[in-house]
Structure 1
């Protein structure tokens, strides 16, 4: 049995840096998973597609159940329709993960292209930093073109690389936070400069 009052009792505060080892372990594990995703981006893409498909399936089933259970609710038809759509998308991603990876990659390419166009448009209106914003927009447009030009091969690896980047950067941030927390700072606080 644990003492639930110990963490909130002002007369018995938690030890300085308590739990920093768990934060550090999480950060190291995230870095390892990120590096593994970089080393085998196809497997990471496949796994990410299956996980996203499972989320769609779960959301679909819950939405359908809510729609059928919500008799008299004005959003009942929407809930059932949304649930069916989510369920179909999830099943397609689960049973045809390569097409799911292709869809994810196309969404990334569209996002990069739209972002690049907006950055160029915004940069053209800037007084200061115009060149940098326009350059960023051009880079994002070029990335979008590159992703589209390398389809379907980019679909096999791009989501895995994105996952790897996310895990590595998240892991590094957690390791830094754990080491900072060990010295007495609040957990996940920014290090003092």
Structure 2
């Protein structure tokens, strides 16, 4: 294994500022689409997850029969059947699935927000750290809003608040990229 010298955050970001900018732009566009189509975003995400669970459950059941003599046969069948049935149920009733997914997304956004706040504190001397902090606060607040509005607005708030969070995350990466580019220009002058 070769040792790769570690670069300061500012230097690493300055060298790859274009990638940070591209990521930010993709996230901003995705966030705007999610905000413009919150119901469609909520249902689409729910349907994808339902399909993944159904296929995963079917494969798990097939796997249980493909490995005879394995001690986990019954549990593999049970967990596969639960995933398959749950995936099918959510697929045919995506509004109920979106409501359940709303709680999961609330928890994810809250955890992501806390992690981003901690990341902001870690990179605090770096230009643009305040945007990462702001993105973390927005993500955490989005998670809390989803949780406290449940279940009445679960169908539309999921797509809307997740879109806002993605949009703000995109702006944070754009801000970091532009700050790194500005620093690079100053250093090369």
* 8 Å Cα contact 1:102-1:156 kept in structure 2: yes
Unpaired runs of 5+ residues, structure 1, are: 1-7, 9-14, 112-139, 185-193
CA deviation after TM superposition for structure 1 residue 143, in Å: 6.8
Runs of 4+ aligned structure 1 residues displaced above 6 Å come to: none
User: How many residues are paired up?
Assistant: 141
Whole-angstrom distance in 2 between the partners of 1:145 and 1:36:
24
Give the TM-score, by structure 2 length: 0.57
Residue matched to 2:168: 169
Distance change (3 Å), C-alpha of 1:178 and 1:92? farther
Whole-angstrom distance in 2 between the partners of 1:71 and 1:37:
46
Greater Rg by CA: 1
Matched, 1:158 2:161: no
Give the TM-score, by structure 1 length: 0.56
* 8 Å Cα contact 1:48-1:159 kept in structure 2: no
Unpaired runs of 5+ residues, structure 2, are: 5-11, 108-143, 185-189
Matched, 1:65 2:68: no
Distance change (3 Å), C-alpha of 1:95 and 1:35? same
RMSD of aligned C-alpha atoms? 3.6
Whole-angstrom distance in 2 between the partners of 1:68 and 1:19:
49
* 8 Å Cα contact 2:146-2:158 kept in structure 1: no
